Amino acid sequence: MKKNKPTTPADSKLPNAGAVLQSAGAGLPSGAPSKRICVIGCGTLGSYLIRRLLDMYGGAVEIIAVEMGDHKIRNEQEMGVTAEAGNTNVASLGRYFGLGGTSARWGGQVLFFDERDNPENDPIWAEIIRINSKHQGTVLEQLLGNTARFVSINPEASGSELSASLKTGVWLRYNRRNLYKRMVRPVRSRVQLKTNRRIVGFQVEGNRIGAVVLKSADGKVEHLTADRFYLTAGALESCRLMLKLQADFPELHQQATGKNFGDHISTELFVVQDARPVLDGIDFTPQVVNGSLVTKRIVALAGNGMVGFVHFVFNKDIRAFKFLKEMLFGKMSTSIGFKDLLQGAGFLLRFAWGMLVAKRLYVHPGQWSVQLDMEQAVPNSNSLALADLPDRYGEPALRINWDISKKDKEAIADVRNQVEALLRRNKLKFTAKYDPAVAGNKVEDVYHPVGFLPVGSVVSMTGKVKGLDNLWHFSTAMLPSARSINPTAAVMCHIEEHLEEEA
């Protein structure tokens, strides 16, 4: 595990980078808007972009947001959107439609790329890291509000090799995770919403998008013109639209579109018994700061140059804890019975005390798991393409070809050996869960889709789609890989770079 300075999202000096999400609207210019902007997709990144456009332009622009869903968050099946996905659940379980999108269901952990994510000194990655470093303070202030309490959060410097590999993330507070709802009503009222409509086509005039074609679930079709278009419909749907655009207008074809689809592949490495989650003197128990959960992870570097992260899963076999997670993440029903809750009453009391008084997650002392999330090799043979299968809108679905490569498995095996050495050095009792010598290991994707609309090939570092003067795209698909982070907040840095370029 590579030595370097430990970082936290709050390490940087935070500039006074505009109002936080819920306090917009003062001092706007009067008069008719001079520019019409269409934002396609009002999910996590679409909501962030809209709020920042209003900060920048105020009343000088007219913003129209087109969203396939509405105020109710729905999954793929509920929306009638299909995908031929083979052996991945990234489409069926990893994306949600409606105002706020996936942020409304999962929330999100705020992390950024740093130099440890570029062991090969690649120039594209160097520029991504520069943009992350430059704008992470602004993004933090937008997402967390007053960040003063977070600035002091730093991984303990124990002097060990491990302390140089730490990275700290911040989970958004439960009641602040939906980025659309965090825009207060007066701000939302300044956006023209077109909900329950799907983009089914583009009108291209030379090197510009003249209009987009919208279709409702009942078949009504309309055309929407704008001066500028932003495609923020999520990684998968944005790629489907880009593939459709390039199929209809071959002169816009980009070879990299839909290629090198990557994700984090996740596997449980070890279960540790009868010990607190302390390694080399560093306590990995999540803290509660200003209502947000602050976690530590270990940046992992495999011998073949691939990057991932090691993190820790707590209380996973406690049924009362499973109930809490099911309720927090919006499940309408639970697999946990009343008897389970009664038996877990002691745990629930300790959990509540920890969160409200001790300001740390209560960790059951019986066992905790060591989990590895590893990037996938780039290049790879994974891909997205248009399928013949139509959905309820009559649109071609996505065909997703995804697998885990030999190089991916080699990286997992290498990091597993590094982690085993770390556990033995700390004299911990553990049981191995991942065995590189057998074929039946459970390895899953974790729905961080990246790589198939990459910067440098399909879009610029500021999201500009190549070949078109008035179309920008922002999603995790623009990143070559996910490396050591949950990548959504990193994309927000590219939004900030774009807005700075436009100022």
Per-residue model confidence (pLDDT) at position 154: 52
Collect all residues with Cβ–Cβ distance below 8 Å to 85 and sequence separation of at least 6.
91, 92, 398, 400, 402
Query: Cα(494)–Cα(449) distance, rounded to whole angstroms?
Result: 17
* Residue 451 near residue 480 (C-beta atoms within 8 A): yes
- Return phi, psi of residue 343, to 5°: -65, -25
- Give the DSSP letter of residue 455: B
Per-residue model confidence (pLDDT) at position 13: 35
**Taking Cα atoms as reference points, which of 402, 392, 387 lies closest to residue 451?**
402
> What confidence tier does 12 reach under pLDDT thresholds 50, 70, 90?
very low
Fill in the amino acid letter for 176: R
Element (H, E) at 53: helix 44-57
Query: Cα(267)–Cα(442) distance, rounded to whole angstroms?
Result: 6
Among 83-92, 146-155, 296-305, top mean pLDDT goes to 296-305
**pLDDT tens-digit series, residues 323-366:** 666 555 555 445 555 565 566 677 788 888 888 899 999 888 77
**pLDDT tens-digit series, residues 431-474:** 999 999 888 899 999 999 999 999 999 999 999 999 999 999 99
> What confidence tier does 495 reach under pLDDT thresholds 50, 70, 90?
very high
Element (H, E) at 49: helix 44-57
Query: Cα(480)–Cα(476) distance, rounded to whole angstroms?
Result: 9
Fill in the amino acid letter for 485: I
**pLDDT tens-digit series, residues 69-87:** 999 999 888 898 888 888 8
Query: Cα(71)–Cα(40) distance, rounded to whole angstroms?
Result: 16
In our burial notation (b when 16+ CB lie closer than 10 A, e otherwise), range 417-437 reads ebbbebbeeeebebeebbeee
Sign of CA dihedral 339, 345, 346, 348: positive
Per-residue model confidence (pLDDT) at position 33: 77
Query: Cα(260)–Cα(242) distance, rounded to whole angstroms?
Result: 15
Query: Cα(3)–Cα(162) distance, rounded to whole angstroms?
Result: 8
Query: Cα(439)–Cα(442) distance, rounded to whole angstroms?
Result: 9
Average pLDDT on 252-278 reads 96
Tokens 């009942």, residue located:
218
What tokens appear for 85 in the block?
Answer: 């996905």
pTM over 0.85, yes/no: yes
> What confidence tier does 42 reach under pLDDT thresholds 50, 70, 90?
very high
Q: Is 125 helix (H, G, I), strand (E, B) or coil?
A: helix
**Taking Cα atoms as reference points, which of 456, 408, 403, 439 lies closest to residue 308?**
408
Collect all residues with Cβ–Cβ distance below 8 Å to 235 and sequence separation of at least 6.
95, 449, 450, 452, 453, 475, 476, 477
- Domains of the chain with CATH codes: 35-315+363-502 (3.50.50.60)
**pLDDT tens-digit series, residues 354-410:** 888 999 998 887 779 999 999 999 999 999 999 998 888 889 999 999 999 999 999
**Taking Cα atoms as reference points, which of 311, 317, 294, 295 lies closest to residue 364?**
317
> What confidence tier does 28 reach under pLDDT thresholds 50, 70, 90?
very low
Let me know if 130 is exposed, middle or buried by CB neighbors in 10 A (0-12, 13-18, 19+). middle
Average pLDDT on 420-440 reads 94
Per-residue model confidence (pLDDT) at position 175: 75
Query: Cα(261)–Cα(402) distance, rounded to whole angstroms?
Result: 7
Let me know if 26 is exposed, middle or buried by CB neighbors in 10 A (0-12, 13-18, 19+). exposed
Strand partners, 40: 66, 231
- Return phi, psi of residue 420, to 5°: -60, -40
Per-residue model confidence (pLDDT) at position 25: 35
Query: Cα(368)–Cα(2) distance, rounded to whole angstroms?
Result: 24
**Taking Cα atoms as reference points, which of 378, 235, 360 lies closest to residue 306?**
378
Query: Is the pLDDT confidence value at 257 over 90?
Result: yes
Fill in the amino acid letter for 392: R
Tally of helices (H runs) and strands (E runs) in the chain:
12, 22
Average pLDDT on 12-33 reads 38
**Taking Cα atoms as reference points, which of 261, 309, 360 lies closest to residue 111?**
309
Q: Is 501 helix (H, G, I), strand (E, B) or coil?
A: helix
Residue 379: is the preceding peptide bond cis (ω within 30°)? Answer: yes
Per-residue model confidence (pLDDT) at position 20: 30
